[in-house]
Copies of this chain bind each other. A is one copy, B any other.
């Protein structure tokens, strides 16, 4: 598709030189950190208000232009690829923190605010926003992909963290999905419908979030285990007996070796758990003791503690760099990250079988997991010049997803469907996908909102 001069003129009339047509910026917006080929939009817009977004949406409707919302470009299943060209709406200039209601533990931000920016802003108020997918994603992008991450075991995912959204719908209407009350039984849950819709039903422009007080005590620890099963069983038991662990992350030995090399650390190259405990001093002490006993009973070694903020930061930075550490295992490599989520009772079995499956190929495949939720990731570290490896990754990914589905799990715990998981969406949801399509058809009958994502046929 090629933008007509008329369309360009109309878009320019709406946002002036914040419409960009250059190759570099289009290519940048058509790529992500994932393994998908670059699919650039025809133009990139940088609106500053919800009303500007609505104006852009109306113009795109007039000129039949597809719309791809863009946050930080950190999605992993090709959600920002402009498969049919059209207009990329980059929300990065909508980065205002609109209001913080400290007394209500909530805030409203524009969609382009990043989670690190928000937490920086909140710190002096003694508040924080817990959802942490690793990447410094935008809040709008996190909403659109139903992101979660390391803290979800305690604080939930974007599904629970969002009180209300403002979105521009495909017909240009601006909808605020809910009030600021903590709960409501008023009508259909449009908030949850938009969360995870990956830009296919609306462009999210503002988000009202639940916040939390920074805990009185935060304590982090690392514990290496003799076996993968011992580590995972420790997680399962801790969750089952209700220890309110804030973070409980599994890192397998392949990933530990990668982290040691990348972040210059000297962690034991064993299946490892990273923990974080939040609460009062007494509560944290109690959690630590309980989890320590469970770990010891499952072949866990000594806990290596980090109570100082800078040590904790170093530890979690190492964990968050898992992706880049993985890529660094093979300079020049391309990453293909996938994730599944299973009932926690099947988690050990799922990871053990997956590890065995992966070890049969030569591709480096570190595993990390938000295992308190039953969610884990495999990173295929691919040689981009070897198409055979991509084919292997595809086959192994398929086997991983089929394994998770057979365990009554989901084909993606947090990365979303995008371009990469569409066949399994159908396998997972069956006729539910027809219901999803009917909703898509009702709200976006012309299929202009992020076409080709979630389902290729609207």
Chain A interface residues toward B at CB < 8 A: 101, 103-106, 145-148, 152, 156-157, 159-160, 169, 173-190, 192-193, 195-197, 201, 212-213, 215, 236, 239-242, 244, 280, 282-283, 286, 341-345, 373-375, 404-405, 408-417, 421, 424-425, 428-436, 438-443, 454
Contacts and interface: CB of A to CB of B under 8 A. Distances in A.
A146 B181 CA distance: 15
A345 B105 CA distance: 10
Contacts of A374: 181-182
A293 to B, nearest CB: 14
Q: How many copies does the complex hold?
A: 2
A434 B172 CA distance: 13
A440 B438 CA distance: 10
Contacts of A241: 213
B410 A181 contact: yes
Contact of A186 (B160, B240, B428, B439): B428
Contacts of A286: 280, 282-283
Contact of A103 (B197, B344, B431, B436): B344
Given A159-B192, A405-B179, A186 B410 contact: yes
A365 B196 CA distance: 42
Contacts of A180: 343, 408-409
Contacts of A443: 435, 438-439
A197 B188 contact: yes
Given A189-B192, A242-B212, A344-B104, A181 B435 contact: no
Nearest to A236: B103
27 contacts: A103-B344, A146-B185, A146-B189, A160-B160, A176-B429, A179-B408, A179-B409, A179-B410, A179-B428, A180-B343, A181-B341, A181-B374, A181-B410, A182-B373, A182-B375, A185-B412, A185-B417, A186-B411, A186-B412, A187-B432, A188-B196, A189-B193, A189-B195, A190-B432, A213-B242, A439-B443, A441-B442
A234 to B, nearest CB: 14
A325 B307 CA distance: 52
A103 B187 contact: no
Contact of A283 (B178, B283, B432): B283
Given A192-B189, A196-B187, A341-B181, A442 B432 contact: no
A340 to B, nearest CB: 8
Most buried by B among A104, A236, A424, A425: A104
A175 B430 contact: yes
A420 to B, nearest CB: 12
Given A176-B429, A184-B412, A187-B428, 19 more contacts: A103-B345, A104-B343, A157-B183, A173-B434, A175-B435, A179-B410, A183-B373, A184-B341, A185-B412, A185-B417, A186-B410, A186-B411, A186-B417, A187-B417, A189-B189, A189-B196, A192-B192, A438-B443, A439-B443
A436 B182 contact: no
Contacts of A182: 341, 343-344, 373-375
Given A192-B193, A213-B242, A435-B443, A101 B343 contact: yes
Given A101-B345, A414-B183, A190 B436 contact: yes
A177 B417 contact: no
Nearest to A202: B435
Given A196-B185, A283-B286, A374-B181, A176 B341 contact: no
Contacts of A173: 431, 434-435
Nearest to A421: B186
Given A104-B345, A187-B417, A189-B195, A177 B432 contact: yes
Nearest to A405: B179
Contacts of A434: 173
Q: Pick the most buried of A152, A192, A424: most chain B CB atoms within 10 A of its CB.
A: A192
Contact of A442 (B179, B193, B196, B439): B439
Given A160-B160, A190-B435, A410 B184 contact: yes
A414 B411 CA distance: 33
A52 to B, nearest CB: 18
Contacts of A411: 186
Contacts of A417: 185-187
B432 A176 contact: yes
A404 B149 CA distance: 35
